[in-house]
Structure 1
Amino acid sequence: MTVRAGSIESQVEAGKKMIQVLENQFDKPRIVSLSDLTYRCKPKPQAAKPQTESDSITPDKKVFRDHLKDGSDGPEMVWIPAGRFRMGDIQEDGGSDEQPVHQVSVARFAMGRYEVTVGEFRRFVNATGYKTDAEKAGACWVWVGDSSGKNWRNLGFPQTDNHPVVCVIWNDAVAYAEWLSQQTGQQYRLPTEAEWEYAARAGTSSNYWWGNDIGSNKANCYKNYCGDHFKYTAPLGSFAANPFGLYDTVGNVCSFPCSKYEGKYNGKESECISQNSGSPRALRGGAWNNRPRYVRTASRNRSSHDYRSDDVGLRLARL
């Protein structure tokens, strides 16, 4: 086959021109769509950071009050978001009944923003004529002085309507919750032990929601161990709220959950027991007459259902 030199030269020249055209096109700015710009400006996805206790739940902090039949407001409640947490003596500073440390899932519920006040309990008593166990028995155990004749109305130390009601037993607390349910059309009850600790921890794993040291003027406990200067109970709201917006989950007065007390955690902490059960109950939160070790979030105390004392009050849950 005969190949002409002119043909080869012309093809080479044409190829050079094509290369130049392509180079010119790549040197020009490229017009892109807005979506293309958006995509190109997005940061590169990063690997998810390890989940901490506080990352596993998002505080709701929605405060509300149900209306009673007479149009007045019920106690302030706070929605607690659903979540999963470690329950028990995470810091290993407590007793054997705070073991084993285990994971618990909790559904969304509402918790009393404060412990039930003297004023709130008085409204229930005035509306129903209810008499507490201490009034019927003629005595309530008190830390100082004679227990005879003591009850929620008469403690031997000053209480205003804004102080937490005390000298109420488990059945008194249930009666108040049932009345509130009837008045509002909602379901009020004592929290399970798991609900109580979940709400009190508010996403933390430390001894107290603010850290492992009791600090000063953060809670009301025995003498001046907490630097609070209250001799007995403190008015509600005297200290900062935890991250869920709940007050006095550490000290002031302890309260009954609805669960049966067991010497080791075995699942009963997520259940309520019958009002007629004679099984032991737990007391949670610690009180004004307890040392710091006993007001830790994980701390538990065994009690009978009819235990009445000037350091025991109540805090309700609502579904």
Structure 2
Amino acid sequence: MQLIYFCLIILLINSPLRVAIAETKAFQDTLQNGDPGPVMIAIRPGHFPMGDNFKVGKSYEQPVHIVHINYAFAISKFPVSFEEYDKFSQATNTKQADQYKWPRTNHPVFNVNQADAKRYARWLSEQTNQHYRLPSEAEWEYAARAGSLTQYPWGNEIGLNNAHCAGCGNASKKNQTASIGRYPANAWGIHGMIGNIWEMTADCWNYDYNNAPSDGSAWRSGDCMRLVLRGGSWGDVPSDLRSSARLRSYAKARTVNIGFRLVRENSLE
């Protein structure tokens, strides 16, 4: 069984997942007032082994299973920033997210919950006449891995100055968020999926991947009072930043270490 699984991983290295690396493209939709929307990265279809290939993480990162994403989509190049979220707040006359005592300019928004993120996505959809939403957990991992099968998108060690977390290197000393785009992008040109801020997904929490969707869709059953978070944050240790690492949080929670990015459907720009 282990030999079969190893052979499958080798085959996946030369799969459409890898082909997409050189084909990703950035674009922006336009808001009704003429301002540009968030920078999006077009992602091509592919398949990948979802979960902890190395069996070094939690039991809820198992079992590893193959996910087939047979559709194109786009994902935010950066996590949603305070500036982007403020445009929504001002346009809809809703309360701005509180940056605590930390920098606001060019930093990822936090102190927002799942309902806030969904409202922002609906507003952006109305502004652009496109369909924006939270990513599924599978879409998130597919985009974060960017063709990699290692523990992190860049390799099996956290290294220095690859991400923002507790223990991520000399450039990550402050106990607060880092500016957006401060650290290198992954192979598909996406920034900040590892570290800095936990990112919400559309999935309900489940304690393992048994019976999980294999088509890239969000898991809509389980503990739907809680949602799945991905990516790790400024206050987490490197093991929490692995591409397969996951965490649960109450969907209504607003904290200083949870933010989000969005997916746009039908996106092969």
Deviation at 1:249, TM superposition (A): 1.0
Retained in 1: the 8 A contact 2:185–2:191?
yes
Measured against aligned partners, the alpha-carbon deviations of 1:101-155 in whole angstroms (never above 9, x if no partner) come to 01001121000000001100011101111236xxxxxxxxxxxxxxxxxxx3341
Paired amino acid for 2:80: V
Which residue of 1 is the match for residue 133 of structure 2? Answer: 189
Retained in 1: the 8 A contact 2:44–2:72?
yes
Structure whose alpha-carbon radius of gyration is higher: 1
Deviation at 1:91, TM superposition (A): 1.4
Work out the percentage of aligned pairs sharing the same amino acid.
Answer: 38
Which residue of 2 is the match for residue 33 of structure 1? Answer: none
Paired amino acid for 1:53: I
Deviation at 1:234, TM superposition (A): 0.8
Deviation at 1:191, TM superposition (A): 0.4
Which residue of 2 is the match for residue 56 of structure 1? Answer: 16
Residue 171 of structure 2, aligned match among 206, 215, 228:
228
Higher strand content, 1 or 2: 2
Paired amino acid for 1:263: Y
Which residue of 2 is the match for residue 239 of structure 1? Answer: 183
The answer to whether structure 1 residue 127 and structure 2 residue 91 are counterparts is yes
CA RMSD of aligned residues (A): 1.7
Measured against aligned partners, the alpha-carbon deviations of 1:198-257 in whole angstroms (never above 9, x if no partner) come to 0000111111001010000000001x4433334111111111100111001110001111
Which residue of 2 is the match for residue 16 of structure 1? Answer: none
Distance 2:173 2:131 in 1: 34
Which residue of 2 is the match for residue 118 of structure 1? Answer: 82
The answer to whether structure 1 residue 169 and structure 2 residue 113 are counterparts is yes
Paired amino acid for 1:155: Y
Deviation at 1:71, TM superposition (A): 0.9
Retained in 1: the 8 A contact 2:99–2:109?
no
The two structures have a TM-score, normalised by structure 1, of: 0.74
Evaluate the alpha carbon distance shift between residue 95 and residue 54 of structure 1 in structure 2; reply closer, same or farther with a 3 A threshold. farther
Deviation at 1:177, TM superposition (A): 0.3
Q: Report SS of the residue matched to 1:210.
A: coil
The answer to whether structure 1 residue 267 and structure 2 residue 230 are counterparts is no
Evaluate the alpha carbon distance shift between residue 54 and residue 70 of structure 1 in structure 2; reply closer, same or farther with a 3 A threshold. farther
Q: Which structure 2 residue ranges, 5 or more long, are not aligned?
A: 1-9
Retained in 1: the 8 A contact 2:204–2:228?
yes
Q: Which structure 1 residue ranges, 5 or more long, are not aligned?
A: 1-49, 133-151
Which residue of 2 is the match for residue 219 of structure 1? Answer: 163
Which residue of 2 is the match for residue 288 of structure 1? Answer: 234
Which residue of 2 is the match for residue 70 of structure 1? Answer: 33
Retained in 2: the 8 A contact 1:55–1:203?
no
Which residue of 1 is the match for residue 253 of structure 2? Answer: 307
Paired amino acid for 1:130: T
Deviation at 1:54, TM superposition (A): 5.7
Measured against aligned partners, the alpha-carbon deviations of 1:258-302 in whole angstroms (never above 9, x if no partner) come to 11111111225843477xx94321110000000001011100101
RCO greater where, 1 or 2, for CA within 8 Å and sep 6 or more?
2
Retained in 1: the 8 A contact 2:99–2:110?
no
Distance 1:81 1:194 in 2: 14
Deviation at 1:55, TM superposition (A): 4.3
Paired amino acid for 2:212: G
The answer to whether structure 1 residue 155 and structure 2 residue 119 are counterparts is no
Q: Report SS of the residue matched to 1:293.
A: helix
Distance 2:14 2:73 in 1: 18
